[in-house]
Copies of this chain bind each other. A is one copy, B any other.
Amino acid sequence: MKPDVLPAARRARRGSGAVTLHDVAKLAGVAPITASRALSTPSQVSADVLQKVSDAVRRTGYVRNGLAGGLASARSRLVAAVVPTITGPVFLQTIQALTQALAEHDYQLMLGQSGYVNSREDALLEAIIGRRPDGIVLTGIMHSAPGRKRLLAAGIPLVETWDLTPTPLDMLVGFSHVDVGGAVVDYLRKKDRRRFAMVAGDDERSVRRQHAFEAAARAAGLPEVCSVTVPAPTTLKSGRGALAELLKAGKKFDAVFCSSDLLALGVMIEARSRNIAVPGQLAIVGFGDLDFAADLEPSMTSVRVDGHAIGRQAARFIIDRAEGRPGGPTVVDVGFTIVERESA
């Protein structure tokens, strides 16, 4: 009469105590895999089984463990998004559209902040890759060689956004910042402006717009653009400061292109406080077309980029890839438009 000590009984239970699919299956009187199918591919299961499993789920309050499911299927249904910082209105629409589009397909978003400096980039990438997301969305382009290598090695579908490059790592949805610079020059020339200034944040894409703007002005035979660079993220305050600085330096100009609407608003306010008429003496063009731009006085001319469209397209790219749908194009240029209003 030996004590009946089974291995299973000797060992403390490790589990979280939560209801598992096994519990549901047992209650429904089916095999676990059948319960699994009832939940994830109901079409593969008889109406009877579906009913029993649904009941069991309801009665137990079962919620599927996504970690376990992701591990078993090698599909986490997680998508990572990397932004420089979530504060700063530029990428918000993209994040919001992305989150929403993903949620509609039962994917969730993980948020990572890289900061405008690239110090923590490596740690961030490691953290992200470690989650085995089904896709990564970068706001911007991955430039650093180690970063590129790491992402490539991970083999995770990747979407770079808000920019174009001839050498995308994988998928790409954005627009040309160089074209923006050129288009704004054209626009201002049509408005009979000739002496340009630019106030730009020091982040990469702003700088690119700035250089393109300067180059296009030069190419058009206009006077050299007076530029002021301010630190990213840009603020209304730095816009005010930038205009003050330009004026103090004795620069002459009849139009300013700002790398963000916040900067442009700052310039506008500073101009008013100095009794510089907008657009009479000074035309102002912003970038981003934040929703306040239309309702300022004067209303603000701005470059509009459809951030929602970028987010939706990025989601589509990743979901298509994850669902194994054959790839159409992997680069989308969403373009931009200059929204003409009173300020220019």
Binary contact readout A92-120 vs B (1 if CB under 8 angstroms, 0 otherwise): 11011001100100101111110000001
Which A residues fall within an 8 A CB radius of B? 14-16, 18, 61, 63-68, 70-71, 74, 76, 78, 85-87, 89, 92-93, 95-96, 99-100, 103, 106, 108-113, 120, 123-124, 126-132, 150, 153-155, 235-237, 240, 262, 265-266, 269, 272-273, 291-292, 294-297
> Do residues B108 and A110 form an inter-chain contact, with CB atoms below 8 A?
yes
Residues of chain B within 8 A of A126, CB atoms compared:
63
User: Whole-angstrom distance between the alpha carbons of A120 and B153 in the complex?
Assistant: 37
Residues of chain B within 8 A of A127, CB atoms compared:
103, 106, 108
User: Whole-angstrom distance between the alpha carbons of A95 and B292 in the complex?
Assistant: 22
User: Whole-angstrom distance between the alpha carbons of A167 and B112 in the complex?
Assistant: 32
> Do residues B295 and A237 form an inter-chain contact, with CB atoms below 8 A?
yes
> Do residues B67 and A76 form an inter-chain contact, with CB atoms below 8 A?
yes
Given contacts A153-B61, A235-B291, A297-B272, contact A86 B113 (CB under 8 A): no
Residues of chain B within 8 A of A85, CB atoms compared:
96
Task: Give min CB distance, A185 to chain B, whole Å.
Answer: 28
Residues of chain B within 8 A of A240, CB atoms compared:
295
Q: So how many copies of this chain end up in the complex?
A: 2
Task: Give min CB distance, A230 to chain B, whole Å.
Answer: 13
> Do residues B130 and A66 form an inter-chain contact, with CB atoms below 8 A?
yes
Given contacts A295-B269, A296-B236, contact A87 B76 (CB under 8 A): no
User: Whole-angstrom distance between the alpha carbons of A111 and B64 in the complex?
Assistant: 19
User: Whole-angstrom distance between the alpha carbons of A218 and B116 in the complex?
Assistant: 49
15 additional A-B residue pairs with CB within 8 Å, beyond A110-B110, A236-B292, A269-B295 = A14-B74, A15-B74, A16-B132, A61-B150, A63-B126, A63-B129, A67-B132, A71-B71, A85-B96, A86-B86, A95-B111, A237-B291, A262-B292, A266-B295, A272-B297
> Do residues B132 and A113 form an inter-chain contact, with CB atoms below 8 A?
no
Given contacts A14-B74, A63-B154, contact A95 B106 (CB under 8 A): no
Task: Give min CB distance, A67 to chain B, whole Å.
Answer: 5
Q: List 19 A-B contacts (CB under 8 A).
A: A63-B129, A63-B154, A64-B130, A65-B130, A71-B71, A85-B96, A87-B96, A89-B89, A96-B113, A100-B113, A108-B128, A108-B131, A110-B110, A235-B291, A235-B292, A240-B295, A265-B292, A266-B295, A273-B297
> Do residues A86 and B92 form an inter-chain contact, with CB atoms below 8 A?
yes
User: Whole-angstrom distance between the alpha carbons of A12 and B294 in the complex?
Assistant: 59
Task: Give min CB distance, A276 to chain B, whole Å.
Answer: 13
Task: Give min CB distance, A85 to chain B, whole Å.
Answer: 6
User: Whole-angstrom distance between the alpha carbons of A66 and B76 in the complex?
Assistant: 10
